[in-house]
Amino acid sequence: MILVTVIAMAAPASAFFSSQSLESKAERMVEIAEEAQENVLDLVDIVESNTTVMELIEDAGLDGQFYGNVSLCVEAGTTVGVEITTENGTAWTYLYAANQSLLAGEYEDAIDNVREALTVFREVLRSIHAILWEAGVETGQLVAPQVISDAIERSLERVEELQALISTDAPIYSNLIEAKELLTEAKNEFLPDNIEDAKANLREANILISEVCQYLKQVAQELNPSRIRDYCEEAEQYRYRFRERFGQAGTEGFDVNGFLQTYGYQNEDEFMGRFQEMIENAQGAEDLEDVLEDLEEIGSLIREMDQNLTQEMGQHRAQHGQAGSGSGYGQNGGSGYGQGSSGTSGGQYGVSGFGSMGSGGSP
């Protein structure tokens, strides 16, 4: 499986990156080569940690070949088997050169070195798999509990990331709940002894996670640049309204800066600057998840600040015998953030951060 992954990553690289800038292409290819190196060394760790497997390799007289392949992927001074390498491995040298070229802005050289490194990593993996086969090692003997555990942790992290993007009211959200339950069961009840059941839970959870990712791709079709621009323009309107509310609050003797400091802002200008930065981030984001995260962050800020300011102003007025005036702009006082010009709320997609924002009230 590790071998197939590296080959799949390396072969279509030129087609996959054809639409990207040369710098982005070089950066991503270096990342792929580093992942390939990690895959090789992870496999080596699994093999070395299994006494039975190592005995089979040694009995077949293949340990020299095994460690010879490993030495191609590491730098001088690394312990390989019982010896310390005295020269940098070929793949390690190419990868190091790729990183240096990337730092120097020599992107074509970086890409060329990455391709050379990937070729060596691919051949090393093929050789190691051939050695294992010749030594009579069964695939099942190579699955270490830690490998499954690490994969479960990665999937759990993915679930958390997706939960931040999907509204709890969306039907698809149940996929994330179920996936988390499966992963938690695999982690806490099946490992380290019951690897097969843990793997089955992991596979099922990843299928559920994949369905959520497909759902987000459908959302992306609706989140065209025009719609995102509408959301950001509406966020700008809320920003101006906050400025007006702060001004009104100040005329009533309310300590606006003191209020904002309780939420981590030094003063009104810092809050407004941060708000503007969030809007610009959403406008400039290219990745769907980044857009959704930015819009959710804006929505959360509007909701929380609107609610807290309304509550604090209500208490201030009660203490000073003042009556509330004017109308708010949340759910009860106007259109909610994320409401498109056609009257269709982004909340229909079940993506957190869209739909009505704010709790209404005044000022």
Of 137, 127, 123, 168, the residue nearest 57 (C-alpha): 137
Q: What is the pLDDT of residue 99?
A: 93
pLDDT at residue 45, rounded to an integer = 79
Mean pLDDT for the chain overall: 79
| Per-residue model confidence as pLDDT tens digits over 121-168 | 999 999 999 999 999 987 666 666 777 788 888 889 989 888 877 778
pLDDT at 255 over 70: yes
With 80 as the cut, is the pLDDT of residue 120 above it? Answer: yes
108 touches 156 (CB < 8 A): no
- Ranges 5-14, 55-64, 236-245, 312-321: which has the least confidence: 5-14
CA distance 201 to 196: 9
Looking at residue 359, its pLDDT comes to 35
Residue 334 clears pLDDT 50, i.e. is over it: no
Across-strand partners of 345?
A: 339
pLDDT 10s digits, 203-212: 899 889 888 8
Q: Identify the pLDDT of residue 323.
A: 58
Residue 5 pLDDT more than 70? no
Confidence of residue 223 (pLDDT cuts 50, 70, 90): low
pLDDT at 212: 87
Residue 220: which pLDDT band, with cuts at 50, 70 and 90? low
β-bridge mates for residue 84, sequence order? 79
Choice between 92 and 187, residue whose per-residue pLDDT is larger: 92
- Tokens 């990156």 -> residue: 17
**Does the structure show a pLDDT above 70 at 113?**
yes
Give the pLDDT confidence score for residue 282 in this predicted structure.
Answer: 83
Closest of 253, 248, 232, 239 to residue 306, by C-alpha: 239
